[in-house]
Chains A and B, each alone.
Chain A
């Protein structure tokens, strides 16, 4: 079970991205986080495994408090959290198989990792996952030879091979066309049910969230303004999340959707 308790994030620039966010995720629940650009969706998901360091509040996975762990303990808990990215973030020049196996690096000794000496069971499992994500036949292709949908499935496979206790997906469909987005969403829901793990998906397409999620969390200006099943997401709730007078359709323009979230990332990267 993942518990997020009163989580806050204030960037060095003074922007308050999260203003005390609390929720719980358990079982094999699919939780979609929706909200307008700049609401803090990306910051929230990235704060769970501390790719973004939260300023205050707590994140706990089962009995482990993730916030406040030292470096090596953080590495251990990160092995239990698979992450899927908007831009896939594969090593383009490595093969599909090498990219998937990199999800097991956290379990290897430095020397074995250096030699890419993965145990046979990891390789066997990688092959099983290849067929689960429907990538048989391209395992020896370089990642840059694949289509967007195939690349995202490599990204999912890399997260699944970790045997995570939870999957975090940061805008996993934003770089994909509508049909491929649906394929990726149903693949994610299949994985949640088969592996019996919860998934938190930060997504800006509300229709996809409604169709695939068990629960929707609406984020607005760093605060949770909706937390319930998709059926409860009526027009009033949508207005509350996307308040400000603009129609939802305007807010959903993909360029607007991704720019602020990547600003979050860039703000983090400053030296």
Chain B
């Protein structure tokens, strides 16, 4: 914790160390952490117990070297084997993120108060129009919260139940969950735009829609593109575990090898996920640098 500039009263107390307020914050933080640790049943001894050490040693012994047989990696047909599952994971994340953007754009617009009912675009609006806009805003925000609050893997389970096993269920799961995440981001960015710029466009006689498209949206497009790419990197990680519920991708290999205690194969699958995540992070950050 840096004391010097962390609060309004910090400068006065810099000489005497922690201020009273900082001390309270620190103590409060400790109490919350202790309570959380108790609830989470934190028990360091469990890690050090003899049984635990044996199990971990067994995993390391059997997991090394990782399984690299041709049959495990490539399988017997095109849509088989670990490498195909990795490619499938990548494909699920790409299509899933694209669909998520397609859903998040309209929902993000209707969830931004500056688009629906507040700020310079609504200065001459009737009370009725503002009420309608506010209703749309709240409804749309609620939808986004719901989409976001149900985890991707739960959506995956629901879609597998609805349309059957396979990667398309994974695509839909990622699309729906991330529409909730991205839609909220887009809306928050739109609410954070410079109202004077939007007002200037509206002041020249543009319609509200035009002022949104040409005054508000261009202020945030680079930021939005950058965050969407970052979100795509996150969906790769989510897509890697969708296989747990049969929604395609490399997660199937993770769960099946754990259940069958095939630690050599599990090691290979973990390494494959690691390689996928590192590669996509590298690619994502390269693309984001080019956007900035």
Contacts and interface: CB of A to CB of B under 8 A. Distances in A.
Given A75-B205, A79-B204, A103-B204, A51 B199 contact: yes
Contacts of B166: none
Contacts of B194: 89
A158 B219 contact: no
Given A113-B210, A271-B118, A51 B204 contact: no
B203 A75 contact: no
Sorting the interface of chain A by its residue count into under 10, 10 to 19, 20 to 34 or 35 or more gives 35 or more
A78 interface: yes
Nearest to B221: A93
Given A50-B124, A51-B123, A52-B123, A78 B205 contact: yes
Contacts, number: 99
A30 to B, nearest CB: 21
17 contacts: A49-B203, A50-B124, A51-B123, A53-B123, A77-B205, A83-B203, A89-B200, A90-B200, A92-B197, A93-B221, A102-B204, A105-B206, A106-B205, A106-B207, A113-B210, A113-B214, A158-B204
A49 B204 CA distance: 9
Given A75-B207, A93-B222, A113-B210, A105 B201 contact: yes
A159 B206 CA distance: 13
Nearest to A155: B200
Interface of A: 49-53, 71, 74-83, 85, 87, 89-94, 98, 102-103, 105-108, 110, 113-114, 116, 155, 158-159, 162, 265, 268-269, 271
Contact of B205 (A76, A114, A155): A76
A110 B207 contact: yes
* Top 7 closest pairs, chain A to chain B, by CB: A106-B205, A79-B205, A89-B200, A78-B205, A105-B206, A89-B196, A105-B210
Nearest to A92: B219
B151 to A, nearest CB: 33
A68 to B, nearest CB: 11
Contacts of A51: 120, 123, 199, 203
Given A53-B123, A53-B124, A91-B219, A83 B200 contact: yes
Q: Which of B119, B120, B199, B206 has the most CB of A within 10 A?
A: B206
Contacts of A107: 205
A268 B123 contact: yes
